[in-house]
Amino acid sequence: MDTLEITEQAVRSMNTKMINDWKNWLLVYKFALDEVNTKLEILNEEFQFIHNYNPIEHMKSRLKSPESIISKLRRKQLDVTMENAREHIRDIAGIRIICSFTTDIYKIIDLLSRQSDVQVLKVKDYIQNPKPNGYRSAHMIILIPVFLTDRVEQVPVEIQIRTVAMDFWASLEHKIYYKFESEVPQSITDQLKDSAELIDLLDKRMLAINEEVSEYKQEEKEPSPFRF
């Protein structure tokens, strides 16, 4: 075996060890996801029990891979260290929550923010202030305590909250953009932005219908003043 082959083997071995070290380090982020998922499931079930209505349609959580984190650090021109990842990358652990109505989004933000062990670091409201391409969603970054055998770690988790309609648009927009390796034609971006406006109108219309239905149900519950 020549020197070049030995060197390549050593590099592969180092990379494998580094990836394994990162996977072990990421365990605490997995535990943070478990904690937040449990909180959200409890809030949703309690809301269903009390109000006969669940604000969360469904949730999806994901953990960035070591390769993805390392790539992001390099794009930021930062040294590839776990310390830099912890300090500069806030979306290592992420949860996407899909709701029926925009009011549910703010309800979830409020319920989470009022939990005593949740620290809200940042909220970005892309519903009231959409991105230039038309993207709408609410983003939160929270710190959640993870209790380990020898310490407690405060771990950041990014939460994206959207309506079903917003998620439909965002998913298709991502697929369309992914097909372009170079700059997206202006006509496509204009059509996508117009579609985002239609999605927003649809959300508002469905919310208005839901509120009207709620009013009818409330009237049915109220006793007639002429009933003895």
Residues carrying an active site annotation:
158
CB–CB of 63/29 below 8 Å? yes
What residue type is 30 in one-letter code? Answer: K
Q: How far, in Å, CA of 94 to CA of 59, rounded?
A: 11
Q: How far, in Å, CA of 106 to CA of 203, rounded?
A: 14
CB–CB of 120/114 below 8 Å? no
Q: Report the DSSP beta bridge partners of residue 58.
A: 98
Q: Which residues contact 120 (CB under 8 A, 6 or more apart)?
A: 112, 113, 140, 141, 142
